Amino acid sequence: MNTLRTSLAVAALLACGLASAQTSGQTSTPAKPAAKPAAAAPAAKGGKGKLMTRDELRACMTSNQQNEDAGAELDKKKAVVLKERDELKASKAESDKFEADMQAQGTALKTEIDSVKAFGAEIEAGAAKMEKAELKAKQEEYQARANALQPKIDAFNKARNDRIEVNKAFNVRVDAHQKIADEFNEAVEDLNDKRNEWKFKCASRSYDEADEIAIKKEQNKK
Angle at 34 between CA 184 and CA 198, to 5 degrees: 60
Rounded to whole angstroms, how far apart are CA atoms 57 and 210? 11
* Cβ neighbours around 99 below 10 Å, total: 14
Count of domains forming the chain: 1
Flag whether pLDDT at 140 surpasses 70. yes
Please indicate, yes or no, if residue 56 is contained in any of the structural domains. Answer: yes
Flag whether pLDDT at 4 surpasses 60. no
Please indicate, yes or no, if residue 170 is contained in any of the structural domains. Answer: yes
Q: What is the pLDDT of residues 50-75, one digit of tens each?
A: 899 999 999 999 999 999 999 999 99
Q: Is the pTM of this model over 0.95?
A: no
Cβ contacts of residue 204 below 8 Å, gap of 6+?
3, 4, 43, 44, 46, 47, 48, 49
Mean pLDDT of 159-188: 95
Query: What pLDDT score does 222 carry?
Result: 64
Residue-number span of the structural domain to which 128 is assigned = 51-211
Kindly give the interhelix angle for 209-221 and 54-126, rounded to the nearest 10 degrees. Answer: 60
Flag whether pLDDT at 28 surpasses 50. no
Please indicate, yes or no, if residue 152 is contained in any of the structural domains. Answer: yes
Mean pLDDT of 198-215: 92
Please indicate, yes or no, if residue 104 is contained in any of the structural domains. Answer: yes
* Cβ neighbours around 128 below 10 Å, total: 7
Q: In the chain, which residue ranges form alpha helices assigned H by DSSP?
A: 54-126, 132-198, 209-221
Mean pLDDT of 195-202: 94
Please indicate, yes or no, if residue 29 is contained in any of the structural domains. Answer: no
Mean pLDDT of 158-167: 94
Please indicate, yes or no, if residue 67 is contained in any of the structural domains. Answer: yes
Please indicate, yes or no, if residue 84 is contained in any of the structural domains. Answer: yes
Q: What is the pLDDT of residues 83-94, one digit of tens each?
A: 999 999 999 999
- CA 100, 105, 107, 110 dihedral sign is negative
Mean pLDDT across the chain: 81
Please indicate, yes or no, if residue 83 is contained in any of the structural domains. Answer: yes
Mean pLDDT of 78-83: 96
Query: What pLDDT score does 219 carry?
Result: 83
Flag whether pLDDT at 23 surpasses 90. no
Here the CATH number for the domain that contains residue 94 is: 1.10.287
Query: What pLDDT score does 64 carry?
Result: 95
Per the model's pLDDT, the better-predicted residue between 36 and 94 turns out to be 94
